[in-house]
Structure 1
């Protein structure tokens, strides 16, 4: 978890403690507050200590329980401030994958140049519908979330229309390992690799592949996207991270450009993809 995020969570916890101690009817102990809220005592102390992230409902209940309901808007604004950057999967996927895809579509639609790095999967903008469906199903199983797979796939396919608009540029880097990963049946992966070979040479796409044997200046760490040099979206197992400060954007672009130095393009990229495709056992 990022230091900035944790500091913001701890600051919110300190504010919650202040409200408990300054309750109009007299300071409340954590035990009394927990009883009023019908919460385990540990939840009160975890929230105050910044060891658990409050929900909006938690904050509303806290404000009312300490006799200061008018402070809810302030608390909610604090929560929104740091959750706009760290978007937990648990919260985002509560209603399924489709709303997350819709958020992505809005940001992509307003972008003209995108820089993507993926080390484990084919970038969503280049996925076939079957490959995307397999990815969504695996993550739904992992997170235990709503299976709105067909709707999520449709939203992702809709986003790909961006690739065919004049004046757009998708700069994609993929580590060869992602081309081998059997996150779907071999026949689906074969079709996905065929699509990638057809993408090479598309006017709006620059597709680079970093071969497994390439010399690397930096490790092939987690994937990320930079949109119009204004927004970075990166994924971790607990959350999706959105960063819009100039320093962070510059840092991720520097990483992208460093990785790019190890990539091959054009016919060389097609040769790597074709080699992986040829090695697939599509009958498996």
Structure 2
């Protein structure tokens, strides 16, 4: 938790640098939307939850601004990210139907970005790997970052990096891409469109 002791902006600053320094990155995110594809509304809910849960200084607007800044790597023509989202990420209720609907629409808009290979892992997909936590592979394969409840772990040992590469290969092999992936996202959009906010 020490890295968040001053709030969310400083760690978001670090993440911006990690992404800028990574020409080819990979990410597996099973239950939420990958941060670099989050809308401002979705990111605001997530970072507010982090601040409230951990009791760190509330600088959510600054943290969200940095998260939005990191998304520039999707549009600068210098980076590529191979991302696998679990189907559950489309249904984990972050902020209610309006926030989720806007977030799903953002995914549909960005699906065909040249900088992005976006796979959806269906909840019923058979994966040749036991269920694993989410992770990001940075530095063109030289670093794996794992978020925990109270802190994070950075992995740089080559033998462990190779295992994460092997895990990502298994997950991406089981994921759906292209029209099949978009259909899963459209299904989620229909769900959130027909869901009304709780009274």
Aligned pairs (5 A) from 1:261-276: 261-276=173-188
Scaled by the length of structure 2, what TM-score is found? 0.94
Mapped to 2, the partners of 1:139 and 1:254 lie a distance apart of: 30
Indicate conservation of the 8 Å contact 1:119/1:220, yes or no.
no
The answer to whether residue 159 in structure 2 is matched with residue 235 in structure 1 is no
**Equivalence for 2:68:** 157
Instruction: Please point out which of 29, 44, 55 is paired with 1:133.
Output: 44
Q: Give the deviation of 1:274 after TM superposition.
A: 0.5
Q: Give the deviation of 1:115 after TM superposition.
A: 0.2
Other structure's SS at 2:141 match:
coil
Q: Which structure's residues are more often helix, by fraction? A: 1
**Equivalence for 2:119:** 208
Runs of 4+ in structure 1 deviating by more than 3 angstroms, as ranges, are: none
**Equivalence for 1:124:** 35
Instruction: Please point out which of 94, 97, 101 is paired with 1:183.
Output: 94
Aligned residues: 195
C-alpha change, 1:220 and 1:198, in structure 2 (3 Å) is farther
Higher relative contact order (CA 8 A, sep 6+): 2
- In structure 1, runs of 5+ residues without a counterpart are 1-89
- In structure 2, runs of 5+ residues without a counterpart are none
Task: Report the aligned-residue RMSD.
Answer: 1.1
**Equivalence for 1:144:** 55
Deviations 1:156-211 (A, max 9, x none): 00000011122311110000011100021111111100111111111110000001
Aligned pairs (5 A) from 1:91-106: 91-106=2-17
Could you say which structure has the larger radius of gyration?
A: 1
**Equivalence for 1:74:** none
Other structure's SS at 1:171 match:
strand
**Equivalence for 1:249:** 161
Other structure's SS at 1:214 match:
coil
Q: Give the deviation of 1:141 after TM superposition.
A: 1.3
Instruction: Please point out which of 253, 257, 260 is paired with 2:172.
Output: 260
Q: Give the deviation of 1:221 after TM superposition.
A: 2.0
